[in-house]
């Protein structure tokens, strides 16, 4: 055999050996996160070995019916002790969030409970309802942790999402006040229903926000659920809508000083009779 041919065969064998060494079956699911509305979600995988970069065509599936096919391989075979990040577009848009290696659609995970499977290992994680406090993720063991997504480039971070938590106190007040989360740079919306308000139709409705909540006192018109001794952050007043539901909206400014701050808000229906409503605690975030 001529030397040139031997060299070509040797090179081909080396190439085949390199391809054979490349793999994808040792990635394991490590961290899962979702917002309440399922628009912000991420999945972090971990690998302890090298040459585990050939992901093209591999899949992630869920029991709720989602399917993701990896469209390409990772950019490097240096996968030893590395992580990769799959996340939604809304996650990628959060300032300071690590860039996803792959983008998954919103609602990929059913936050009320699901089974996530990386089929090449295979590795599966069963979970119940995911935390929706805007900061807590779960690990593959089900432990709750502060979210810490890390991508293949070793960029990491933590996101803090806006949340809106209804608080009813002792249940005395009508539960007629609802609100969206107050997310930076987005439109905050709220509504108060006056349907069934006793006495004459109400004249106007109010939403007041204070720096802290309260669980009393009990007043003639209901239970006070905001601490009026703390600074008032805002007060919104509108005439009661004829249809029985009065809506409010306002743009939330991007102010990082307020990131993670919670405001206690409560509605008041004013007319022939005054009624306090349930409270909504707004945590400011993305």
Q: What is the pLDDT of residues 27-64, one digit of tens each?
A: 999 999 999 999 999 999 999 999 999 999 999 999 99
Residue 14: pLDDT band by 50, 70, 90 thresholds?
very low
Picking from 195, 200, 185, the residue whose alpha carbon sits closest to that of residue 251 is 185
Task: Transcribe 27-91 into DSSP letters.
Answer: -EEEEEEE-TTSSSEEEEEEE-SSS----TT-EEEETTS-EEE--S--S-S--TTEEEEEE-HHH
Q: How many CB atoms lie within 10 A of CB 3?
A: 7
- For 215, 230, 252, 261, 264, the CA distances from 210, given in Å and listed in that order, are 13, 6, 16, 11, 5
Residue 22: pLDDT band by 50, 70, 90 thresholds?
low
- Report which of residues 106 and 21 the model is more confident about: 106
Which tokens go with 274? Answer: 């005054």
CA 226 distance to own-chain centroid: 26
Coil vs helix vs strand at 14: helix
d(C-alpha 227, C-alpha 248), whole Å: 22
Residue 192: pLDDT band by 50, 70, 90 thresholds?
very high
Give the DSSP H or E segment for 11: helix 3-21
Give the DSSP H or E segment for 248: strand 245-251
Residue 243: pLDDT band by 50, 70, 90 thresholds?
confident
% of the chain residues with pLDDT over 90:
87
Which tokens go with 149? Answer: 């997504």
pLDDT attached to residue 251: 97
> In whole numbers, what is the pLDDT of the chain averaged over residues?
92
pLDDT attached to residue 64: 98
pLDDT attached to residue 166: 98
pLDDT attached to residue 4: 52
Residues counted in the chain: 286
87-95 long-range Cβ contacts below 8 angstroms, 24+ apart: 87/41, 87/42, 87/43, 87/149, 88/39, 88/40, 88/41, 88/42, 90/35, 90/39, 90/40, 91/40, 91/41, 91/42, 91/149, 91/159, 94/40, 94/159, 94/286, 95/286
pLDDT digits (tens, 9 = 90+) for 78-114: 999 999 999 999 999 999 999 999 999 999 999 999 9
Q: Which residues contact 259 (CB under 8 A, 6 or more apart)?
A: 160, 184, 284, 285
- Measure the N-to-C terminal CA separation of the chain; round to a whole number of Å: 68
- Report which of residues 7 and 266 the model is more confident about: 266
CA 196 distance to own-chain centroid: 35
d(C-alpha 188, C-alpha 211), whole Å: 18
Task: Transcribe 181-215 into DSSP letters.
Answer: --BTTSEEEEEEE-TT-SSSPPSEEEEEEESSB--
Query: Do the Cβ atoms of 162 and 286 come closer than 8 Å?
Result: yes
pLDDT attached to residue 156: 97
Mean pLDDT of 177-198: 95
- The strand pairing partners of 268, in sequence order, are 206, 276
d(C-alpha 286, C-alpha 260), whole Å: 9
């Amino acid at each position: 055999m001529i030397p040139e041919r031997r060299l070509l065969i040797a090179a081909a064998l080396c190439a085949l050996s390199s391809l054979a060494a490349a793999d994808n079956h040792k990635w394991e699911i490590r961290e899962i996160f979702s917002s309440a509305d399922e628009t912000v979600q991420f999945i972090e995988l971990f690998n302890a070995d090298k040459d585990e970069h050939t992901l093209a065509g591999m899949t992630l599936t869920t029991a709720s019916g989602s399917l993701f096919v990896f469209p390409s391989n990772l950019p490097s075979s240096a996968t030893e002790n590395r992580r990769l990040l799959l996340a939604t577009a809304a996650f990628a848009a959060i300032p300071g969030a690590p860039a996803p290696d792959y983008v998954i659609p919103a609602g990929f995970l059913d936050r009320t409970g699901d089974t996530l499977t990386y089929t090449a290992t295979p590795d599966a994680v069963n979970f119940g309802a995911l935390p929706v406090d805007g900061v807590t993720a779960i690990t593959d063991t089900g432990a709750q942790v502060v979210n810490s997504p890390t991508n293949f480039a070793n960029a990491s971070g933590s996101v803090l999402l806006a949340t809106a938590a209804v608080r009813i106190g002792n249940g005395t007040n009508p539960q007629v006040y609802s609100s969206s989360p107050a997310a930076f740079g987005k439109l905050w919306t709220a509504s108060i229903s006056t349907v069934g308000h006793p006495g004459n139709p109400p004249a106007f409705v109010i939403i007041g926000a204070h720096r802290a909540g309260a669980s009393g006192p009990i007043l003639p018109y209901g239970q006070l659920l905001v601490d009026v001794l703390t600074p008032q952050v805002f007060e919104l007043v509108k005439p009661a809508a004829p249809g029985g539901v009065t809506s409010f909206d306002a743009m939330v400014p991007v102010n990082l000083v307020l990131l993670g701050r919670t405001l206690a808000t409560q509605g008041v229906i004013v007319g022939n009779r005054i009624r306090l409503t349930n409270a909504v605690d707004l945590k400011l975030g993305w």
